[in-house]
Amino acid sequence: MGRSIKLSDKLLADASSYGKALQRSTPRQIEYWARMGKLAEENSDLPLSFIKETLVALEESAACEVSEFRFG
């Protein structure tokens, strides 16, 4: 269910710019930032880059795009 909320013009302009560069719509960019912010707060001891890499790894695993790692 969608809801209307008021956001600053600055946030919308920033989200629009970043979204265009990353092939996301403005609302999707804001959702992405909100998700990353929530995860960063929940895992304040982890760097954001680690959180992003973990999310990518989870998606790759769900899409069966992983292979077994062999040591040596």
Provide DSSP, the chain: --------HHHHHHHHHHHHHTT--HHHHHHHHHHHHHHHHHTTTS-HHHHHHHHHHHHHHHTT--------
Domain membership flag for residue 58:
yes
Q: What's the domain range around 34?
A: 9-62
Tens digit of pLDDT for each residue in 43-68?
999 999 999 999 999 999 889 887 88
72 or 9: which carries more pLDDT confidence?
9
Tens digit of pLDDT for each residue in 9-29?
999 999 999 999 999 999 999
Q: Over 80: is that where the pLDDT of 38 sits?
A: yes
Paired tokens of 38: 């929530």
Domain membership flag for residue 70:
no
Number of domains in the chain: 1
Domain membership flag for residue 3:
no
Domain membership flag for residue 72:
no
Domain membership flag for residue 69:
no
Domain membership flag for residue 19:
yes
The reported pLDDT for the residue numbered 11 is 97
Domain membership flag for residue 18:
yes
